[in-house]
Structure 1
Amino acid sequence: MAPATLTISSKNYSSWSLRGWLLCRMAGLDFVEKPVAIDDPETRQELLLLSPSVRVPRLSHGDVEVWDTLAIAEYMSEIAPKAGLWPDDIKTRAHCRAVSGEIHSGFYNLRSALPMNIKARHDAFKIFSGARPDVQRIKEIWTDCLTTYGGPFLFGAPTVADAMYAPVCTRFRTYAVELEPPLQAYCETIFDWAPMKEWAEAARAEPDEVIELEVEF
């Protein structure tokens, strides 16, 4: 594969950066990280939009530029088809695409109410009413996938869906969201996943400055 660069933001706070980074790791892509400071004015403007289509993560691979997480997922699948980012079975693959698209384009209340902060821990946290349906819907998605495909990942083995929902696992841990045992076991699977452990270790090593961001990015 050609040399690649992945532009990302904070490893502690940036859920979209985490998703793109996991996808590249899953595909076995050899890439260099290019961090963007969260106090950069242009970056802050994008982060505050709560948009899945911000310009981080941004993958530069040869003469290819990709800056949307699902686009990165599709590109990684094309250049590394044996990596298994999408399930082989057409019906299962459609299901995986559907749940991945759902987290990519929705759950805005959850993002704003439970911003990703890997280093933080709350013993108890009151979730505002607008975000509770989002939490419940994610529980439904996880339960359906784990029941249908048997775990330990959402579709048995790691797929795009796990990269997309990994930041949610960190949110649920940070804000002490109560989970049924199978769902808690899924989160533990994500936390024990080698690329996730690598990311979390780097996140914990970041400086503690928070640049007045009250929302997820």
Structure 2
Amino acid sequence: MKLLIGNRNYSTWSLRPWLVLRHFEIPFTDEVLPLSGPGWRENLAERSPTGKVPVLIDGELVVPETIAIIEYLADRYPDKPIWPVDRADRARARAAAAEMHAGFSGLRTHAPMNLRASHPGKVDLDSVARDLKRLEALWGGMLERSGGPFLFGAFTAADAMYAPVATRIRTYDLPVTDRLAEYVEAIYGLPAFQEWLAEALKEPWIVDDDEIDVIQGRVPRGSLA
């Protein structure tokens, strides 16, 4: 089984299924398809049916799209608690995952994931205020119900879906309650996440579209390489 991923430093959608695979000790290999450089779009188009990452390859089966990959893994490995065991919690977890997939556009647009960076104060808080308020209600409610440290007690696919959001809170020092700050620390303390982070810090690539200084016009494209 192989997972095609983008740059670890930036690729939020690649991080999510990778965490599920690694945390639940499912054997796999990965291959990075850089999201910048000469011919990168053409390379993706040749390897991915959607021209995007991640893509899971299991024998002759090719599965694009993060949630589809996670659901495939849950079906293929029913003994792994990828989703919560309790039926009601599974429904809550899947609803939260779907909300992440479809929402939080403010955070995505104005606070891109960048694991190598530290940019406190660079995000206009008004642009992400609505998303942060929703996170307080969503994460706060699930953490209160479960007791933590993860959204449903133990780590599940729901946490994998929100791990990139946790990184944004740290990278941009976004204001959250102590309960949410503790959750961010739990994500960072996960051994699988630490492994991903260590590899991300070694990457040489710069993707201008995900650099806040480029997005906000502080520096010209190409000047960070």
TM-score, normalization by structure 1: 0.88
Instruction: Tell whether the 8 Å contact from 1:28 to 1:83 is kept in structure 2 after alignment.
Output: no
CA distance in 2, matches of 1:60, 1:104: 21
For 1:81, what is the secondary structure of its paired residue? Answer: coil
1:17 maps to which residue? 14
Give, in angstroms, the shift of residue 215 of structure 1: 7.3
Give, in angstroms, the shift of residue 100 of structure 1: 0.8
**Equivalences for 1:119-198 in 2 at 5 Å?**
119-198=116-195
Amino acid at match of 1:113: H
Q: Which has the higher contact order (CA 8 A, sep 6+)?
A: 1
2:206 maps to which residue? 210
For 1:7, what is the secondary structure of its paired residue? Answer: strand
Q: Deviations over 1:34-56 (max 9, x none)?
A: 1112124427999xxxxxx7631
Give, in angstroms, the shift of residue 155 of structure 1: 0.4
Q: Deviations over 1:124-182 (max 9, x none)?
A: 23425332201211221110100011100000001111000001111000001122111
Instruction: Tell whether the 8 Å contact from 1:6 to 1:60 is kept in structure 2 after alignment.
Output: yes
For 1:177, what is the secondary structure of its paired residue? Answer: coil
For 2:30, what is the secondary structure of its paired residue? Answer: strand
CA RMSD of aligned residues (A): 2.1
Q: Deviations over 1:79-136 (max 9, x none)?
A: 1112101111111110011001100111122101000000111232342533220121
Q: Deviations over 1:19-40 (max 9, x none)?
A: 1211222342211111112124
Query: How many residues are matched?
Result: 206
1:64 maps to which residue? 61
Give, in angstroms, the shift of residue 214 of structure 1: 4.2
1:114 maps to which residue? 111
2:41 maps to which residue? 42
2:215 maps to which residue? none
CA distance in 2, matches of 1:111, 1:213: 12
> Structure 1 stretch 177-186 or stretch 162-171: which is displaced more?
177-186
Amino acid at match of 1:203: A
CA distance in 2, matches of 1:183, 1:54: 34
Change (3 A) 1:89 1:136: same
Structure 1 gaps of 5+ residues are 47-52
Instruction: Tell whether the 8 Å contact from 1:18 to 1:167 is kept in structure 2 after alignment.
Output: yes
Instruction: Tell whether the 8 Å contact from 2:5 to 2:54 is kept in structure 1 after alignment.
Output: yes
Amino acid at match of 2:9: N
Change (3 A) 1:215 1:67: farther
CA distance in 2, matches of 1:18, 1:165: 10
CA distance in 1, matches of 2:63, 2:44: 20
Amino acid at match of 1:175: Y
Structure 2 gaps of 5+ residues are 213-225
> Structure 1 stretch 126-135 or stretch 153-162: which is displaced more?
126-135
Instruction: Tell me, yes or no, if structure 1 residue 29 matches structure 2 residue 26.
Output: yes
